Structure 1
């Protein structure tokens, strides 16, 4: 009886402490954390047209929380994080409340997780959706129908918030289909079908939201422009223009010797991109150059893609985009939600009181070490042909990190933000492995590749 009461008390402590600490950065800041992209999402409800790389689904989600100064959004993000963490531990046979508490607190201390859940951005849903997909596809027999339905909706929403998240989730499902003949009953066909349907539902959710707000049955634009920026900073665009401008009349030809050094400077830094009409004026030309340069320089493109993927794996620092001047986002809030201007301006972030140097002194080495641990766990399990739950989680996280690095590094170019939003699930996996090791927990059922 005493043990049961202690467990009940620990559950309630964890249910209060973990969500509270997950939004501690925003509470300390005095306002939800903002990022350069936040304004673009917020404006979708008010402007009624599509813009590159800004999901209308996430824009509607932010609009839902405006009346609470977005604290409802942060509450949803914190509770969703707590839910996915405890559900992952439960399906792995590690549901002890004190274990959930110390693993949750270590994640909050050593990773970007609380900063992600405190921010008005899609990034928190990237890592959570990978864990949700792992549970739905590989652990579906251990959860209730209501939990399955909830995970289905959560994955669909997460996929609709960002194309890179959708790409990572889709890639994991395709890998599951490939591995199904090898792993037999470890991967249920019904689970894979549910996972694929949830991702397809996310795609339909985005198309429906785009149509509702803009009248267009269209995907969120901007893919070619982002890929163009990455090729520009690799020197491929300048080479293509030098090779083709003598006999093709591109708008960028007069500027081929004055292109900015990075894609970010070209797309967002008041370059000739603005003079030539931004995405509306250059999208067709950028798409043409992207597709034709792939055919003209295949070896260079492959080398650049591999380099970008490797670099993205190492870009894991917390806080990118939080400490700079966010003029566009500030302007959107002042224009469309003027009642929040005072709170926003008074926040520590807007007063330049946030510095991530000390934070990353801890976060970066933890992130890099966690990736090595997860890769080792997956490699050891594959070598031993022991595909138990821990190995399958390590495999899921390994391929998610690799897929994220490929999609984000190759298309957008390496950024710390893209790594930090996902690498915390590697730390979570490493903490699960450490918990099992130090408590000598053999509760999970193992399964070998050769099992009938």
Structure 2
């Protein structure tokens, strides 16, 4: 009886310690939001809210728009309202933004609870770290409470960009969550219980549908996961890549459902902005191809080439100006007729393949250059709203505890330089720790090495997709780079078990 009571007390004590550690991890995640006093946001935050509001209205949920006072607020500030949703004008829906994330943002904004996106970020990160640590503790044992095993890596990662992404009202947090899910499946699929696999697939499915770039990253990770799995598991090596392929399939299914819903509910067509085309033009191979082959009625992108001749300003060739600019001096794509915009957007994959076939070395060199640039850009500057971003979101009423304005961290940025240097040192040390533990034999269990390698490949895939297809940006690097200190800490936790044999 006494033994049973002692065992019960020990379990209760472990549960309390785990709860305390998890509370510390949550506070670490929320640190930037708490210090700033307001969420962080971006140009596209209001666009997600607007698209979500329009989608909910089309689905039959009538409610006051969270953007009702936005027009007046912008006019009062002397700021022209940007073109956010084109569905009323030309019957198109911007497929570049996630419909799922937009609906979530729109619903929370209508309820004036947009801070719920921060809660969603925290929950997703905790779940993505909890799952591999749970399986690892079960496989290798150890006396560390699960709460501490989950919290320590998150607390260390919070010294980097993680809390900035948590406070960011954008879907970027789900890119590293997706990579963690994929890495968990590669490392532990053979050790996971059926419900754990189902949970991982569900979390991966949520992550992949929150941004279009996540679908491209996950598609690249299918062969990467197969390659790593061969070295981890001689038997059933195919299980992890099959599960990753399932997540990718869910992402493609979501895109198909979006297009069907747009046609049936709103009578609209889904159009994805020509990011690939713009990137190819700015890098050079795409522009050279168009200069050589245009005008040609059989090449829809020649319509964009003609629009680029409307001005002689060299900056009109940059990808950002091609996709977004509306001024006569710098604009091109957005100044074209809606039907021509759709033709150019729909042609971007064929255009990329044509340029690749015509100029393979130049195209591959451009992708490699952009990937290397993107892999080095990891600062959190683009998570911090500028005056322009504040004005873009002015008048949106979706927040419960504050409004879209500057906070303590964004009014005075004197801290940014020293913090950026400290974070870069953290990332470099973390990468060094990972490399040492990967190379030292017997120090870290093979599945955990597989998890680390998969995460590293995922960071490179993120750089390739975002830098090569879209445009190198610190935002894209910052969203995944906190995985380095997180994974380094996970490896250090289990380094002492590295000499033990891992049984299936």
TM over 0.5: yes
Aligned residues: 439
The question of whether the paired residues in 1 share the 8 Å contact of 2:112 and 2:399 is answered with: no
The answer to whether structure 1 residue 54 and structure 2 residue 97 are counterparts is yes
Larger C-alpha radius of gyration, 1 or 2?
A: 2
Structure 1 residues 8 and 16, CA gap change in structure 2 (3 angstroms): same
The question of whether the paired residues in 2 share the 8 Å contact of 1:207 and 1:219 is answered with: no
State the match for 2:72 in structure 1: none
Shift of 1:402: 1.7
Shift of 1:210: 4.7
The question of whether the paired residues in 2 share the 8 Å contact of 1:316 and 1:367 is answered with: no
The question of whether the paired residues in 2 share the 8 Å contact of 1:31 and 1:343 is answered with: yes
The answer to whether structure 1 residue 267 and structure 2 residue 323 are counterparts is yes
The answer to whether structure 1 residue 403 and structure 2 residue 461 are counterparts is yes
The question of whether the paired residues in 2 share the 8 Å contact of 1:117 and 1:124 is answered with: yes
Query: Alignment partner of 1:31: what SS?
Result: coil
Structure 1 residues 233 and 364, CA gap change in structure 2 (3 angstroms): farther
State the match for 2:200 in structure 1: 151
Whole-angstrom CA distance in 1 between matches of 2:269 and 2:408: 33
Query: Alignment partner of 1:323: what SS?
Result: coil
The answer to whether structure 1 residue 301 and structure 2 residue 363 are counterparts is yes
Whole-angstrom CA distance in 2 between matches of 1:444 and 1:90: 18
State the match for 1:232 in structure 2: 281
State the match for 2:60 in structure 1: none
TM-score (norm: length of structure 1): 0.83
State the match for 2:41 in structure 1: 34
Q: Structure 1 residues 13-22 or 171-180, which shifts more?
A: 171-180
Whole-angstrom CA distance in 1 between matches of 2:431 and 2:99: 33
Whole-angstrom CA distance in 2 between matches of 1:205 and 1:282: 23
Q: Structure 1 residues 155-164 or 244-253, which shifts more?
A: 244-253
1:114-147: per-residue Cα shift (whole Å, max 9, x none)?
A: 1111111111111112212233454235444443
Whole-angstrom CA distance in 2 between matches of 1:119 and 1:415: 16
The answer to whether structure 1 residue 251 and structure 2 residue 306 are counterparts is yes
Query: Alignment partner of 1:161: what SS?
Result: coil
The question of whether the paired residues in 2 share the 8 Å contact of 1:21 and 1:108 is answered with: yes
Shift of 1:373: 4.2
Whole-angstrom CA distance in 1 between matches of 2:187 and 2:313: 52
The question of whether the paired residues in 2 share the 8 Å contact of 1:58 and 1:161 is answered with: yes
Shift of 1:170: 2.6
Whole-angstrom CA distance in 2 between matches of 1:392 and 1:226: 33
State the match for 2:121 in structure 1: 77
State the match for 2:28 in structure 1: 21
TM-score (norm: length of structure 2): 0.75
Query: Alignment partner of 1:123: what SS?
Result: helix
Unpaired runs of at least 5, structure 2: 1-5, 56-86, 88-92, 297-301
The answer to whether structure 1 residue 122 and structure 2 residue 171 are counterparts is yes
Shift of 1:332: 5.8
The answer to whether structure 1 residue 425 and structure 2 residue 483 are counterparts is yes
State the match for 2:249 in structure 1: 200
Unpaired runs of at least 5, structure 1: none
